[in-house]
């Protein structure tokens, strides 16, 4: 289809200018014609290219994006407005977003600092997690498809190659071949497996690798043989290319790039957590690697890949729920031994039913505790003290199959601090004491547990301390 000229009116939308002309589609700025007001945000129109020589995937991708974009919601995707008739003139009208894509940082003259890379990666992982919670896997994540709002929120673009767990997978049915961008495609996609959310984590790993080193981990292969190599090969360790890359970042990136999906992060929320809390990253042999994997290991992987049977993965939302981040709010004062014991029992039960879940132990202290310190060293000592208390509280727990981290927050508003932490870190379950401030007080005042339970974006488990029920009805 030829490009639309400025001033063209199409189904009530007036074309302003062409923003982008790519291999798959033209993107235009548009506005409502005939004086109709815009819906509170600027508009963009995407029109697929359908030249005589184009393959079937162009029109199939348009159908996929039209179907999926209408089902998505939230700040991490453009808002859907309208779609054109495929039999007449196909187009998508959506929210126009103005901001830099990840290409801005990858192509920058100076490589971004590690702190900035971690911030970008965490924002991207949160956006991907929000997508997976809606049962969609993107499957074409690359720098040009990740845009950042002014507040740092990542927005995902171009869902033409995506897969929705509850909709027919048109690309898999009609094309029956590996679909994706060669530079960022995951190993399982190479053999035609779609729908695994960990494929998106592989693509994030490729982008983080390039941000850290300025190089691509697997190059840009164009042949099936070149693509298949990533089923058994892993890239050169980041710290060998750039010694300034910290060990924790190498651990995170190489885990994303594992050839076998089961060895990567189990969810994007867990990846975002590690990028947001680098001091809590568990370092394995990946972090210490300085040399590439030897021929013998690659040969064994090649043999294993040749006989591997890929199984369909559960829906993305289900897979993310199976490995949640469990947060326990541990009071640092006015807590009885019974309360602390009951909290530990509740956490143990929660972890026992969720293999692979991550535990975040959190306590909130008043800023007055640190502001009264004479110097920064004393402030650090205070934090270390409360971190030590958290570790001591958690020591009896069974950590098998779980990663645990410890966090001391400073805030004069305990409930808000816990809520902000839960929202910012993709927490799925909050465990906290229900009687921290006394049962009688809770009858008249909205205490911290009640406020958290009312406003939390996730499941909240309120735990009563182990006391004889007969005492609850006795007069003071």
Residues 84-105: tens digit of each pLDDT: 987 788 899 999 999 999 999 9
Contact 119, 222 (CB under 8 A): no
Please report the pLDDT score of residue 51 as a whole number: 65
Please report the pLDDT score of residue 371 as a whole number: 65
Contact 11, 82 (CB under 8 A): yes
The distance in angstroms from the start CA to the end CA of the chain is 82
Q: Which H or E element spans position 408?
A: strand 403-410
Say which residue, 36 or 141, is predicted with more confidence: 141
- Name the E strands within 66-134: 80-83, 92-95
Query: How remote is the C-alpha of 149 from its chain's centroid?
Result: 16
pLDDT at 444 over 50: no
Contact 356, 323 (CB under 8 A): yes
Query: pLDDT-based confidence at 266, cuts 50/70/90?
Result: very high
User: Given the DSSP bridges, would you call strands 358-365 and 403-410 parallel, antiparallel or unpaired?
Assistant: parallel
> What is the per-residue pLDDT across 121-178, written as a single tens digit (0 to 9) for each?
999 999 999 999 999 999 999 999 999 999 999 999 999 999 999 988 888 765 555 6
Say which residue, 402 or 326, is predicted with more confidence: 326
Contact 351, 398 (CB under 8 A): yes
- List all residues 6 or more positions away from 402 whose beta carbon is below 8 Å from its beta carbon: 351, 356, 357, 358, 359
Q: What is the crossing angle of helices 114-133 and 268-276, to 10°?
A: 160
Contact 140, 180 (CB under 8 A): yes
User: Given the DSSP bridges, would you call strands 358-365 and 325-329 parallel, antiparallel or unpaired?
Assistant: parallel
Please report the pLDDT score of residue 352 as a whole number: 81
User: Half-sphere exposure of residue 292, counting CA atoms within 13 Å on the CB side?
Assistant: 12
Q: What letters, b where the CB count within 10 A reaches 16 and e where it falls short, cover 436-449?
A: bbeeeebeeeebbb
Query: CA-CA distance, 45 to 26, in Å (whole number)?
Result: 8
Query: CA-CA distance, 206 to 196, in Å (whole number)?
Result: 17
Least confident of 2-16, 66-80, 134-148, 170-184: 170-184
Contact 405, 359 (CB under 8 A): yes
> Hey, how many other C-beta atoms are within 10 angstroms of the C-beta on 335?
16
Structure tokens at 294: 């030897």
How many helices (H) and strands (E) are present in the chain, helices listed first?
Answer: 19, 15
> What is the per-residue pLDDT across 306-337, written as a single tens digit (0 to 9) for each?
666 666 778 898 888 889 999 999 998 877 88
Please report the pLDDT score of residue 294 as a whole number: 75
Helix (H, G, I), strand (E, B) or coil at 122: helix
Please report the pLDDT score of residue 470 as a whole number: 43
Which segment, 215-224, 250-259, 463-472, is predicted with the most confidence on average? Answer: 250-259
Q: Which residues share a beta bridge with 431?
A: 328, 461
Say which residue, 438 or 239, is predicted with more confidence: 239
pLDDT at 472 over 50: no
**Nearest alpha carbon to residue 186 among 117, 292, 262:** 262
Calculate mean pLDDT across residues 277-301: 85
How much of the chain is helix, strand and coil, in % rounded to 5? 40, 15, 45
Model-level pTM?
0.89
Tell me which fold the domain 324-473 belongs to.
Rossmann fold (3.40.50)
Tell me which fold the domain 103-319 belongs to.
Transferase(Phosphotransferase); domain 1 (1.10.510)
Instruction: Name the CATH superfamily housing domain 9-95.
Output: Phosphorylase Kinase; domain 1 (3.30.200.20)
Please report the pLDDT score of residue 251 as a whole number: 98
Query: CA-CA distance, 173 to 74, in Å (whole number)?
Result: 29
What is the CA angle 28-31-34, rounded to 5? 140
Using alpha carbons, list the distances in angstroms from residue 461 to 126, 319, 346: 24, 21, 8
Query: How remote is the C-alpha of 208 from its chain's centroid?
Result: 13
H helix runs in 278-408, sequence order: 285-288, 295-306, 316-321, 337-352, 367-371, 376-394
Which segment, 118-127, 187-196, 213-222, 309-318, is predicted with the most confidence on average? Answer: 118-127
Query: CA-CA distance, 294 to 201, in Å (whole number)?
Result: 25
The ranges assigned to domains in the chain are: 9-95, 103-319, 324-473
């Amino acid at each position: 289809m030829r490009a639309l000229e400025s001033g063209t009116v199409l189904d009530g939308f007036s074309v302003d200018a062409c923003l982008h002309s790519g291999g798959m589609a033209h993107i235009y700025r548009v506005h409502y014609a005939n004086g109709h007001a815009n819906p509170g945000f600027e508009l963009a129109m995407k029109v697929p290219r359908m030249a005589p020589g184009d393959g079937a995937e162009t029109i199939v991708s348009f159908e996929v994006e039209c179907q999926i974009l209408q089902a998505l919601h939230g700040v991490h995707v453009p808002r859907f407005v309208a779609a054109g008739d495929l039999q007449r003139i196909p187009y998508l009208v959506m929210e126009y977003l103005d901001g830099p894509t990840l290409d801005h940082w990858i192509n920058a003259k100076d490589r971004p600092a590690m702190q900035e890379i971690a911030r970008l990666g965490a924002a991207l992982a949160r956006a991907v997690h929000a997508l997976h919670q809606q049962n969609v896997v993107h499957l074409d994540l690359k720098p040009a498809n990740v845009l950042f709002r002014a507040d740092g929120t990542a927005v995902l673009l171009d869902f033409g190659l995506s897969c929705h767990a509850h909709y027919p997978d048109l690309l898999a049915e009609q094309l029956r071949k590996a679909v994706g961008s060669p530079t960022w495609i995951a190993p399982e996609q190479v053999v035609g497996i779609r729908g695994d959310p960990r494929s998106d984590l592989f693509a994030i790993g490729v982008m983080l690798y390039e941000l850290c080193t300025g190089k691509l981990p697997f190059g840009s292969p164009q042949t099936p043989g070149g693509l298949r190599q990533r089923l058994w090969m892993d890239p050169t360790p980041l710290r060998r290319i750039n010694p300034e890359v910290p060990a924790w970042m190498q651990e995170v990136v190489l885990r994303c790039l594992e050839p076998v999906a089961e060895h990567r992060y189990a969810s994007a929320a867990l990846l975002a957590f590690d990028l947001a809390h680098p001091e809590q990253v568990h370092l394995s042999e990946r972090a210490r690697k300085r040399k590439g994997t030897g021929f013998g290991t690659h040969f064994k992987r090649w043999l294993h890949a040749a006989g591997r049977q890929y199984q369909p993965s559960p829906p993305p939302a289900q897979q993310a729920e199976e490995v949640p981040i469990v947060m326990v709010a541990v009071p640092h004062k006015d807590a009885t031994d019974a309360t602390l014991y009951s909290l530990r029992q509740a956490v143990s039960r929660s972890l026992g039913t969720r293999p692979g879940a991550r535990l975040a132990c959190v306590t909130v202290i008043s800023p007055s505790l640190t502001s009264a310190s004479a110097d920064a060293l004393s402030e650090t000592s205070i934090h270390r003290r409360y971190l030590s208390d958290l570790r001591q509280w958690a020591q009896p727990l069974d950590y098998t199959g779980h990663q645990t981290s410890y966090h001391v927050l400073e805030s004069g508003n305990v409930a808000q601090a816990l809520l902000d932490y839960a929202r910012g870190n993709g927490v799925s379950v909050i465990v906290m004491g229900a009687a921290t401030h006394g049962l009688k007080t809770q009858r008249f005042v909205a205490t911290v547990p009640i406020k958290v339970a009312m406003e939390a974006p996730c499941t909240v488990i309120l735990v009563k301390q182990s006391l004889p029920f007969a005492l609850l009805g006795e007069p003071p």
